[in-house]
Chains A and B, each alone.
Chain A
């Protein structure tokens, strides 16, 4: 009896979490896989025809948008690291008693809706808007100059929107560093730069890793920034997926593209984890 129970216990323990995963992750996922191999249209209905060619068609038809997503997402993530690391470093080591205030300030924009923040950039950066209008009438910029509807605008928007997701994990990683190890490095004749390079940076890498994860995944699948700030040649794969679902009602194509994107992201993340030498992806993300 007790043997049976001890055998059952692990299953019982896994039940709540397993149930949660089954309902909110596995079931939608299965539905999505199924959807991706169906054919039909919205009036005649969709049926499973094991039409795996949908994936190939999606990849072929929208390769440009996949590349945009990876490029914009990657560029925004890199910019976020460049901007966030010094900020997080400064808050962690020089912030003193006001650390929480600074962190709060970083988070403050989050109190305004994501879409609203992005749309307000549309007004600020409009061709004859708050910024460009006066510069143009002063003759400092050519009449044709614009920021909106360019690649830069999309990457800028992504960087702006996801910046706090990079600052916070890096800050947490830096905050944890016992400053005595830095002192120890100085005692061993390391100058400031060497101490940073050999001690602080390696210790903060899990934070950077988590930040990259939190930035790149949503940034690569984002569709709001490209829609609001981009032009017709800046479409990202998220826009296409959204259109397939919410505009064309071509559900199979939408599902196939979602899966392809997911595969790219997962492969990318694991390759990245390997390269960085971080054995356990989840551990790094949790840090």
Chain B
């Protein structure tokens, strides 16, 4: 009824029932039906009250209901995929700065398959993306995209719990199963790659602008350094910022509980009330850093590399010694996608080693295809000039090819569901809320 209110229900049927009930409530309150003994004003007043009363009770929003076993999902998926056909077009929703700048990888795909790709950089962060598409999927609508890239985190779990992903067609993942590293085929949040194939992994660490900060940054404490007051950027994502609060107080996110979260939130609030934080940023943190509004900021590894490449800045990135965060963004197919076959073909396309190499060269995030390193090194040997230096950097970058020591310092997001997730949110939300 309004743009912002969720009117969905777990199924279209339930939502229709709720709507009907609500309409019924309104009709009974319509003034014309009230007997003439009442004044017009009374009639309107009572009508309104009756409508309100009935309406209030009628507008619940239903949730997911029951947990569905994976074997059941696989059966349903088989039936679903048997009916699907290639359409020659696919709509791809991704995050900004997350593909080769001239989209060569997609052009080659169109040449090879005849499928055109509408690539849009519409995802700013997971929570707002979830809040935007969840009501549409609940209402049984196509969200306009056949592929969306979702991070392993709270929203990933919510999408799974609500059944809002289309299970992947395992038969169309030949490149993936052939070339992806075992680590990416066996992930706790997505057993059997039922719903997702990694787009890229990366780490969240600290970036700084050497124009303003001369000493190299190594510690998380620099984000709390009064020297940089008013020029420190923090992320608005509560999972990102929660982890950083935990590193600051020396607790591993995987082992943390509500009491640790409260302590972490307290140091983050202190950082804010001391005037150290410039702003809590979404993806726009990178602009703020490049413009000089922030000098030091929480950052995603690959963004910094891309920013330096595209505008010649010399921004630096480090995984703080106290710890950093590792995450994986996954290509998924939302429920009610109209071109699922084309989506599967494109997703598997990115697992051809030469395509994966092109992507990695451009975005410098961690790839799921190990053979890419050799390809990039070979490209670097062939290249000349500044390209050569860049490619060599990618081929050897410690941000892309993490060592065992790096992995030891990197942690996942706090992984909790249901009520614990609400507790987590209620603790960290006030930090970024102002």
Chain A residues within 8 Å of B, Cβ to Cβ: 7-8, 10-11, 14-15, 18, 22-23, 26-28, 30-35, 37-38, 40-48, 61-62, 64-65, 68, 123, 126-129, 144, 146, 148-149, 231-235, 239-240, 243, 245-251, 254-255
Contacts and interface: CB of A to CB of B under 8 A. Distances in A.
A268 B285 CA distance: 37
Given A28-B1, A126-B292, A247 B128 contact: yes
Contacts, number: 155
A232 B230 contact: no
B63 A40 contact: yes
Given A27-B26, A127-B293, A149-B279, A10 B40 contact: yes
B60 A232 contact: no
B31 A245 contact: no
Given A32-B2, A243-B433, A43 B161 contact: yes
A45 B63 contact: yes
A8 B33 CA distance: 11
B57 interface: yes
18 contacts: A15-B32, A30-B52, A30-B55, A31-B5, A31-B7, A34-B58, A35-B5, A35-B59, A35-B61, A44-B63, A65-B433, A123-B291, A146-B230, A232-B272, A233-B434, A247-B131, A248-B425, A249-B131
B141 interface: no
A246 B61 contact: no
Given A18-B31, A26-B48, A45 B128 contact: no
A235 B52 contact: no
B275 to A, nearest CB: 8
Contacts of B1: 23, 27-28, 31
Contacts of B422: 41
A148 B293 contact: yes
B418 A41 contact: yes
Interface residues of B, number: 55
Nearest to A45: B63
A54 to B, nearest CB: 13
Contacts of A10: 40
Given A32-B2, A127-B291, A45 B433 contact: no
Contacts of B52: 30, 33
B55 A27 contact: yes
B246 to A, nearest CB: 20
Contacts of A43: 63-64, 158, 161-162, 418
B369 to A, nearest CB: 33
B63 to A, nearest CB: 3
B6 interface: yes
A246 B134 CA distance: 10
Contact of B61 (A18, A38, A61, A235): A38
A232 B59 contact: no
B430 interface: yes
Contact of A239 (B5, B127, B291, B434): B434
Nearest to B43: A11
Given A43-B161, A239-B434, A48 B59 contact: yes
Residue picked from A22, A61, A234, most chain B C-beta under 10 Å: A22
Contacts of A240: 433-434
B63 A128 contact: no
A234 B279 CA distance: 10
Contacts of B230: 144, 146, 149
Contacts of B40: 10-11
B51 A30 contact: yes
B59 A34 contact: yes
Given A31-B2, A43-B161, A233-B434, A14 B59 contact: no
Q: Which 7 pairs show the lowest CB-CB distances between chains A and B?
A: A235-B434, A45-B63, A30-B55, A28-B2, A34-B59, A128-B292, A46-B61
A134 B287 CA distance: 20
B118 interface: no
Contacts of A123: 291
A247 B127 contact: yes
Residue picked from B26, B128, B422, B433, most chain A C-beta under 10 Å: B433
Contacts of A45: 10, 60-64
B22 interface: yes
B20 to A, nearest CB: 13
B293 A126 contact: yes
Contacts of A44: 63-64, 418
Nearest to B130: A249
Contact of B5 (A48, A232, A251): A251
Contacts of B51: 22, 26, 30
A31 B19 CA distance: 11
Nearest to B40: A10
Interface string B27-58: 00011100010001000000010011001111
B293 A246 contact: no
B145 interface: no
B26 A26 contact: yes
Nearest to B417: A43
Contacts of A35: 5, 59, 61
A38 B127 contact: no
A261 to B, nearest CB: 14
B429 A42 contact: no
Contacts of B103: none
Interface string B2-15: 10111100100000
B33 to A, nearest CB: 10
B130 A65 contact: no
Contacts of A31: 1-2, 5, 7, 22, 55, 59
Interface in B385-428: 418, 421-422, 425
